[in-house]
């Protein structure tokens, strides 16, 4: 039998999902994991190079033939720490925002915040690898993922986008959800069980290969990332999608 191909982000916050699949003998025999950064995973899923996976919510509308599966997601009910706008000027002084090439949903989120809530117009510019180390005056940079931990002390100002979304909407934010085709749907129950077990044992998932220390790891996965896909998060996805359709 051909293995079910699943794409997911290779960030620290997906450690519980990756370890859940790898530690399950049954799932490990059925699933082939392909890891990359969010926008690449979205491409793999859109182009049907995989059967499903953890997809950025901003790409959901591009995959109407896939269903949301599992009871889990990558979300945050407040500050998430790893999706942030950095600058050396206050928001009122920023004219240009450089957008992280690794993200689509976070790019869409900051554009929504600017348009709907900050009521500001910025020049948004694309980036490539290495952009984080050179920020012009009157500019800001959007950085996502594990790299944020490295840049937390480098800039005077930091706006956590999940925290800002919660402040403006009183809702959590969902960055990514699991989706799949009929083939993937067949292992949904197994995924739910394995994910539940893994998420109840976050401290033991730490290893020395990670780029953050143990205490930061446990705090980040236990208190910053909210993995449960509940009704409030589904409502947040709906609102986010509505904003995308307003463009």
pLDDT band at 79 (very low <50, low <70, confident <90, very high): very high
Radius of gyration of the CA atoms of the chain, in A:
18
Cβ atoms 240, 86 nearer than 8 A: no
pLDDT of residue 129: 78
Bridge-based pairing of strands 52-56 and 4-9 is parallel
- In tens, the pLDDT along 121-133 reads 999 999 877 777 7
Please determine, for residue 136, whether its predicted confidence score (pLDDT) is greater than 90: no
Q: Is 140 left (phi over 0), alpha (psi -120 to 50) or beta?
A: beta
Mean pLDDT in residue range 203-214: 91
- In tens, the pLDDT along 139-183 reads 999 999 898 998 888 889 999 999 999 999 999 999 999 999 989
Mean pLDDT in residue range 197-208: 95
Please determine, for residue 32, whether its predicted confidence score (pLDDT) is greater than 80: yes
Q: Which residue has the tokens 């790891």?
A: 217
The encoded tokens of residue 115 equal: 């348009």
Cβ atoms 179, 66 nearer than 8 A: yes
Q: What percent of the chain has pLDDT over 70?
A: 98
pLDDT of residue 247: 57
Q: What is the pTM of this model?
A: 0.93
Please determine, for residue 213, whether its predicted confidence score (pLDDT) is greater than 60: yes
11 against 160, higher pLDDT: 160
pLDDT of residue 1: 61
Cβ atoms 180, 69 nearer than 8 A: yes
Task: Spell out the domains of the chain, with CATH numbers in brackets.
Answer: 4-76+173-246 (3.40.190.10), 83-169 (3.40.190.10)
75 against 56, higher pLDDT: 75
Query: Mean pLDDT over all residues of the chain?
Result: 92
């Amino acid at each position: 039998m051909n293995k079910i191909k699943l794409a997911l982000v290779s960030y620290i916050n997906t450690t519980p999902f990756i370890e859940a699949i790898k530690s399950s003998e049954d799932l490990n025999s059925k699933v082939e994991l392909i890891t990359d950064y969010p926008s690449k995973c979205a491409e793999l899923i859109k182009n049907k190079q995989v059967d499903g996976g953890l997809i950025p919510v901003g790409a959901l509308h591009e995959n109407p033939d896939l269903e949301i599966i599992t009871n889990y997601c990558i979300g945050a009910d407040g500050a998430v720490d790893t999706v942030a706008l950095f600058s050396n000027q206050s928001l009122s002084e920023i004219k240009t925002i450089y957008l992280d090439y690794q993200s689509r949903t976070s790019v869409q989120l900051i554009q929504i915040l600017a348009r709907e809530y900050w009521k500001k117009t910025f020049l948004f510019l694309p980036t490539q690898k290495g952009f984080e180390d050179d920020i012009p005056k009157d500019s800001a940079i959007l950085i996502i993922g594990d790299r944020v931990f490295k840049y937390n002390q480098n800039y005077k100002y930091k706006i956590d986008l999940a925290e800002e979304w919660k402040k403006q909407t009183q809702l959590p934010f969902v960055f990514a959800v699991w989706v799949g085709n009929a083939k993937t749907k067949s292992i949904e129950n197994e995924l739910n069980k394995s994910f539940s077990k893994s998420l109840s044992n976050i401290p033991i998932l730490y290893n020395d290969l990670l780029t953050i220390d143990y205490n930061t790891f446990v705090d980040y996965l236990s208190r910053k990332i909210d993995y449960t896909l509940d009704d409030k998060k589904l409502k947040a996805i709906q609102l986010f999608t509505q904003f995308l359709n307003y463009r």
